[in-house]
Amino acid sequence: MTKRREANGPLVREARSALQASARSLAKLARGNAAAVAAAAEVLVQCFENGGTVYFCGNGGSAADAQHLATEFAGRYLVERPGLPAVALTTNTSALTAIGNDYGYEQVFSRQLEGLGAPGDVLVAITTSGRSESVRRAVGSAQGAGMTVIGMTGAKGADFAALCDIALVTPSASTPHVQEGHITMGHAFCLLVERALFPPAPKRAAARSGARAKAARPRSRPGAR
């Protein structure tokens, strides 16, 4: 083992420092954002219950997060259940290239929502900086269509957060920490939505087991000792 990888080598120390910095950022997030995450989950539950669709959008790493979270709903998060209508607006390459070519990249998400969005739907709009013009325009199109907007951004995106109906703001100016916060909050609202829409079945197994044990217990007879 090289000195760099020894228990107290420089790479190990740097790795520990990086992980601790992420943990501090997420701890701060947990203290300040639980209510906002719960509010986002409630909006998503209502959308799904009413037959609506949840759309996601973002650029770069946020595009990856958009696809990741849409798949948690369309596929599954933790429990076996029917798929939920969730769409990442980043995946249709023909739409992205045609709209980008004909109208400009800033309209790649908003133009899709003009045709897809409907009242009662939800847009989860993700931008770490809050400055992404394509995401900001998507917010405008979604609200024009009667959709609810959940915005995910970082400490520098206060003006973007103000545009959204619900803002999930990672309290950090570091892009990697903001992205860590986004996926953590996204996983949290996925968990809450699944628990609300697909609660665990009643635990009948214990009751059946108790009934079998009772039936198998020998009956006492008068005079028996």
The answer to whether 25 and 170 are in contact (CB under 8 A) is: yes
Burial of 115 (0-12, 13-18, 19+ CB in 10 A): exposed
pLDDT digits (tens, 9 = 90+) for 62-102: 999 999 999 999 999 999 999 999 999 999 999 999 999 99
Report pLDDT for 9. 86
Report pLDDT for 20. 96
- Domain limits of the chain? 35-197
pLDDT confidence bin for 200, thresholds 50/70/90: confident
Report pLDDT for 2. 58
* Helix (H/G/I), strand (E/B), else coil: 86: strand
Report pLDDT for 218. 43
Q: What is the CATH number of domain 35-197?
A: 3.40.50.10490
Contacts of 100 (CB under 8 A, 6+ apart): 107, 108
Q: Give CA separation, 99 vs 96, 106, 117, 124, 219, in Å.
A: 5, 9, 17, 20, 79
Q: How many CB atoms lie within 10 A of CB 175?
A: 16
Average pLDDT over residues 12-31: 95
